[in-house]
């Protein structure tokens, strides 16, 4: 029997965290499974697709994979049993046909990794499915209640509104807080554009709130090395961008007496580098291939980079902050696309005698043009930049923010606007702190009482204030000095 779609999905989940059928090395189990496929698996199952392409690249060497030759294989993933038998072997399609099939394939599952975010439907990413696929946990009411109890404060609106929606091990962190113990925060940014846009601020705004309510140290990593390795940019330029972006980040208002922000290029060495080496020694090429999709033509800098993003999670990387302590737990606020780095980190940590970092994950910030279109720092009309003037903000919102309003005033008054797809409303969910006012707007807009122009005017006001706060808070003289 050929492999069913359900089985393919189960296999896709398997390859999310495993490089190969039997874990982290090739074996005859890969060969037999490979032989079951009539053609390259659909690209929307990108973990399975990646595994297939990788196994395919071995050519006839597949028969030399270690392990006894097998006639059958049974694999259990997510309660689904995938059974394959040797005599199911099916002739493969010629390469042309395969290519054609791929072209015709529609994405049926969202793609989310550090380099690609692509929704399969125009409703945007399905975050519930992502939690299932990634195996993280939902930020639910019980967790919010614990936040409230422990901080004595209403949880930040990013938490209340599901903008941060998923976590790993957050209860462990709250248990520590309950016991009067400390943890530290770690987040970062890959500096690839001169100016940051409002979406880039989301993890930093969350982090600032966490630093305020828990009064804990914060590490901010600027991955100028990462951007150099991935983008067609000069090294000097990436390094300069790290310092430029750091000003915008500092402007979010962290407690700078408890915050260390650094450029990888300028800082890495000493204990930090020792930890990088330890991670490097304990993670194989096969593992990162499986997690990140690297292949033989990836430059070798990329292949080792995940070790660099991993080690700020370990307190011993910063002896001048943590006095050489190895066991201070770490909490990482980040957008969910960064999760693969930290799945790897959590996997390797216990083998090095370190604690696994905890995480809270945010949804993505939509482009002005709508939740399913891609926001890019190189398209200046796809978002609001921190350098935009009040006039530019007004023009951009009025001209580009995708509207859920109706075509004519009459129709709008009668049928009302659709807040689910209206980008101005989505942005207000991110940036309007006042729950009461937000709810009022939602009701008035969806009943047709409020027009699109009025909704946009509300947003413009909120954005001008946010950006104003950011610009004026920057004191160029407090921009970090790189301690070493
Ligand atoms: N890779 C991230 C980016 O491209 C930057 C980053 C480094 C990061 N360390 C992090 C993001 C920790 C979140 C948390 O933007």
- Give the model confidence (pLDDT) of 412-432 as tens digits: 999 999 999 999 999 999 999
pLDDT at 24 (0 to 100): 74
pLDDT at 102 (0 to 100): 42
Nearest of 289, 285, 284, 283 to residue 52 by alpha carbon: 289
Say how far apart CA 49 and CA 29 lie, in whole Å. Answer: 17
Q: Classify the C-alpha dihedral 396-399-400-405 as positive or negative.
A: positive
The fraction of the chain above a pLDDT of 70, given in percent, is: 90
Confidence category of residue 54, pLDDT binned at 50, 70, 90: confident
Q: What is the mean pLDDT of residues 169-181?
A: 96
Confidence category of residue 1, pLDDT binned at 50, 70, 90: low
Indicate the pTM of the whole model.
0.78
Phi first, then psi: what are they for 138, rounded to 5°? -75, 140
Confidence category of residue 109, pLDDT binned at 50, 70, 90: confident
Tell whether the model's pLDDT for residue 38 goes beyond 90.
no
Q: Which residue puts its alpha carbon closest to atom 8 of ligand 1?
A: 188
pLDDT per position as a tens digit, 121-147: 767 788 999 999 999 999 999 999 999
Mutation choice for ligand 1 from 187, 263, 305, 342, CB with most ligand atoms inside 8 A:
187
Q: Which residue puts its alpha carbon closest to atom 6 of ligand 1?
A: 188
Tell whether the model's pLDDT for residue 200 goes beyond 80.
yes
CA–centroid distance, 243 to ligand 1, in Å, is 15
Tell whether the model's pLDDT for residue 94 goes beyond 80.
no
Tell whether the model's pLDDT for residue 479 goes beyond 80.
no
Q: Which residues line ligand 1 (CB under 6 A)?
A: 186-190, 221, 223, 226, 309, 332, 334, 338
pLDDT per position as a tens digit, 327-379: 999 999 999 999 999 999 999 999 999 999 999 999 999 989 887 665 665 67
CA–centroid distance, 228 to ligand 1, in Å, is 14
Bigger pLDDT: 182 vs 82: 182
pLDDT per position as a tens digit, 253-272: 899 999 999 999 999 999 99
Q: Are 120 and 107 in contact, with CB atoms under 8 Å apart?
A: yes
Confidence category of residue 18, pLDDT binned at 50, 70, 90: confident
Nearest of 78, 77, 79, 89 to residue 32 by alpha carbon: 89
pLDDT at 107 (0 to 100): 65
pLDDT at 59 (0 to 100): 84
Confidence category of residue 90, pLDDT binned at 50, 70, 90: very low
Q: Residue 103 is encoded by which pair of tokens?
A: 């072209």
pLDDT at 312 (0 to 100): 98
Q: Are 183 and 216 in contact, with CB atoms under 8 Å apart?
A: yes
Say how far apart CA 304 and CA 162 lie, in whole Å. Answer: 34
- Averaged confidence pLDDT in the chain: 88
pLDDT at 91 (0 to 100): 39
Q: Which residue puts its alpha carbon closest to atom 4 of ligand 1?
A: 190
Tell whether the model's pLDDT for residue 475 goes beyond 60.
no
Q: Which residue puts its alpha carbon closest to atom 5 of ligand 1?
A: 189
The residue length of the chain stands at: 484
Nearest of 167, 191, 256 to residue 218 by alpha carbon: 256
pLDDT at 10 (0 to 100): 87
Q: What is the mean pLDDT of residues 43-57?
A: 88
pLDDT per position as a tens digit, 395-406: 999 999 999 999
pLDDT per position as a tens digit, 369-395: 887 665 665 678 888 998 898 999 999
Say how far apart CA 405 and CA 423 lie, in whole Å. Answer: 11
CA–centroid distance, 190 to ligand 1, in Å, is 6
Ligand 1 atom at shortest distance from the alpha carbon of 227: 4
Q: Which residue puts its alpha carbon closest to atom 3 of ligand 1?
A: 190
Bigger pLDDT: 244 vs 24: 244
Confidence category of residue 106, pLDDT binned at 50, 70, 90: low
Q: Are 27 and 21 in contact, with CB atoms under 8 Å apart?
A: yes
CA–centroid distance, 264 to ligand 1, in Å, is 11
Say how far apart CA 330 and CA 168 lie, in whole Å. Answer: 11
Q: Which residue puts its alpha carbon closest to atom 1 of ligand 1?
A: 190
CA–centroid distance, 188 to ligand 1, in Å, is 4
């Amino acid at each position: 029997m050929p492999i069913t779609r359900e089985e393919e999905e189960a296999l896709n989940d398997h390859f999310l965290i495993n490089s190969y059928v039997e874990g982290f090395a090739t074996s005859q189990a890969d060969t037999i499974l490979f032989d079951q496929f009539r053609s390259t698996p659909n690209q929307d199952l990108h973990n399975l697709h990646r595994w297939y392409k990788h196994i395919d690249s071995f050519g006839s060497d597949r028969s030399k994979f270690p392990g006894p030759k097998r006639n059958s294989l049974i694999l259990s993933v997510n309660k689904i049993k995938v059974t394959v038998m040797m005599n199911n072997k099916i002739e493969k399609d010629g390469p042309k046909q395969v290519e054609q099939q791929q072209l015709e394939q529609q994405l049926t599952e969202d793609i989310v990794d550090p380099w690609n975010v692509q929704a399969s439907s125009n409703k945007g990413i399905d975050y519930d499915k992502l939690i299932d696929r990634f195996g993280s946990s939902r930020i639910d009411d019980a967790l919010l209640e614990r936040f409230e109890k422990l901080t004595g404060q209403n949880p930040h609106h990013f938490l209340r509104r599901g903008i941060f929606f998923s976590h790993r091990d957050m209860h462990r962190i709250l248990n520590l807080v309950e016991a009067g113990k400390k943890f530290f925060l770690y987040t970062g940014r890959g500096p690839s554009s001169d100016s940051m846009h409002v979406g880039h601020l989301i993890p930093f705004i969350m982090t600032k709130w966490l630093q305020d309510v828990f009064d804990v140290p914060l590490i901010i990593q600027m991955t100028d090395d990462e951007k150099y390795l991935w983008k067609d940019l000069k090294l000097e330029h990436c390094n300069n961008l790290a310092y430029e972006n750091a000003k915008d980040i500092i402007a979010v208002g962290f407690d700078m007496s408890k915050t260390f922000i650094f450029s990888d290029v300028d800082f890495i060495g000493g204990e930090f580098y020792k930890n990088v080496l330890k991670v490097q020694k304990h993670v194989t090429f096969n593992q990162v291939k499986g997690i990140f999709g690297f292949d033989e033509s990836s430059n070798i800098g990329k292949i080792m980079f995940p070790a660099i993003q991993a080690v700020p999670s370990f307190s011993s990387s910063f002896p001048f902050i943590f006095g050489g302590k190895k066991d201070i737990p770490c909490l990482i606020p980040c957008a969910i696309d960064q999760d693969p780095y930290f799945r790897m980190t959590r996997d390797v940590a216990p083998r090095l005698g370190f604690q696994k970092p905890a995480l809270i994950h945010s949804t993505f910030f939509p482009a002005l043009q709508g939740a399913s279109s891609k926001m890019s720092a190189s398209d200046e009309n796809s978002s609001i930049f921190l350098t935009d003037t009040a006039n530019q903000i007004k023009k951009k919102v009025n001209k580009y923010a995708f509207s859920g309003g109706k075509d004519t005033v009459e129709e709008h008054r009668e049928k009302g606007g659709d807040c689910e797809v209206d980008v101005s409303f989505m942005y207000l969910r991110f940036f309007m702190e006042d729950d009461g006012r937000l709810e009022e707007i939602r009701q008035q807009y969806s009943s047709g009482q409020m027009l699109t122009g009025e909704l946009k005017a509300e947003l413009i006001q909120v954005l001008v204030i946010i950006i104003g706060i950011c610009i004026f808070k920057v004191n160029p003289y407090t921009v970090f000095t790189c301690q070493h």
